[in-house]
């Protein structure tokens, strides 16, 4: 009587083959041939916890996104009204030297970079009298009045102005305090500008102050 034939090994299941070839970290340690082991249970627990945290994060972000209004499609429309745009002028020469007074120098010396011993030389450079025997500084100093008096004004600076091909002038400009600038931005008015529809300005840079 011949020897019994050895039983052929069972081929791995499809899930085992999938786990072995899957690049998702952890699956290859869970779906292995053979019975359940402690190592496989630990890997399964770690994988399930990680996947659950990931799915919770995704769901939370989707819910957060759906709670706020959003626009994914923009429609371009021609408007018959185009508001005069907001313009910001940045000038390092903030104060006109022709408007500076000795009392201004006394209070604003640190901001203007003038040492106390250089007051007379600074006044001479401004073309103003250097005799300070009758000078008495004020008890208080109004910063707003100083800025409004010494800063450059649009009436003197603006030489030429055209908006959408039409003439404009200082009367079309309004000065807004910075504290009121940000609420104005909430109107969300936006327009495109180009060579024909934008603002063309010519300025006197007031180099001599």
In a domain, 61, yes or no: no
Task: Give the residue numbers spanning the domain of 205.
Answer: 76-93+152-209
- Which of 85-89, 182-186, 205-209 is the least confident region? 182-186
Average pLDDT over residues 135-149: 85
* In the predicted structure, residue 68 carries a pLDDT above the cut 70: yes
Tens of pLDDT, residues 146-178: 888 888 888 888 899 888 778 888 888 877 765
Residues 86 and 158 in one domain: yes
Average pLDDT over residues 5-29: 71
In a domain, 168, yes or no: yes
* In the predicted structure, residue 128 carries a pLDDT above the cut 80: no
CA distance 99 to 93: 13
CA distance 117 to 128: 16
Residues 102 and 84 in one domain: no
In a domain, 5, yes or no: no
Q: In Å, what is the CA distance from 109 to each residue of 101, 118, 165, 169, 199?
A: 11, 10, 45, 35, 38
- The runs of H, that is alpha helices, within 67-152 are 102-112, 119-125, 143-150
Residues 87 and 164 in one domain: yes
Residues 166 and 189 in one domain: yes
* In the predicted structure, residue 193 carries a pLDDT above the cut 70: no
CA distance 150 to 96: 5
Residues 88 and 163 in one domain: yes
* In the predicted structure, residue 39 carries a pLDDT above the cut 70: yes
In a domain, 86, yes or no: yes
Considering its fold, how many domains does the chain have in total?
3
Residues 164 and 202 in one domain: yes
Residues 109 and 34 in one domain: no
- Which of 63-67, 79-83, 132-136 is the least confident region? 79-83
Average pLDDT over residues 176-201: 59
In a domain, 177, yes or no: yes
Can you give the pLDDT at residue 57?
95
**How many residues does this entry show for the chain?**
209
Predicted TM-score (pTM) of this structure: 0.42
Which residues lie across from 161 on neighbouring strands? 201
CA distance 200 to 22: 63
Distance of alpha carbon 166 from the chain centroid: 33
In a domain, 62, yes or no: no
* Contact between 161 and 202 (Cβ < 8 Å): yes
Task: Give the angle subtended at the CA of 59 by the CAs of 54 and 65, to the nearest 5°.
Answer: 130
């Amino acid at each position: 009587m011949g020897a019994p034939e050895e039983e052929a090994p069972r081929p791995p299941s499809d899930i085992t083959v999938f786990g072995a070839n899957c690049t998702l970290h952890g699956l290859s340690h869970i779906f292995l041939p053979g019975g359940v082991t402690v190592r496989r249970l630990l890997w399964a627990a770690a994988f399930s916890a990680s996947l659950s945290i990931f799915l919770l994060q995704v769901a939370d972000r989707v819910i957060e996104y759906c709670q706020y209004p959003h626009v994914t499609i923009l429609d371009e429309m021609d408007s018959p009204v185009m508001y005069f745009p907001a313009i910001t002028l940045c000038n390092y020469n903030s104060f006109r030297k022709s408007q500076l007074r000795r009392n201004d120098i006394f209070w604003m010396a640190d901001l203007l970079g003038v040492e106390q011993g250089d007051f007379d030389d600074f006044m001479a450079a401004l073309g103003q009298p250097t005799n300070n025997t009758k000078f008495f500084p004020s008890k208080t100093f109004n910063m707003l009045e100083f800025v409004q008096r010494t800063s450059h004004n649009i009436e003197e600076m603006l030489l030429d102005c055209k908006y959408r091909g039409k003439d404009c002038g200082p009367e079309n400009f309004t000065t807004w305090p910075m504290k009121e600038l940000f609420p104005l931005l909430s109107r969300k008015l936006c327009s495109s500008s180009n060579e024909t529809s934008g603002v063309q300005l010519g300025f006197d840079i007031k180099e001599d102050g």
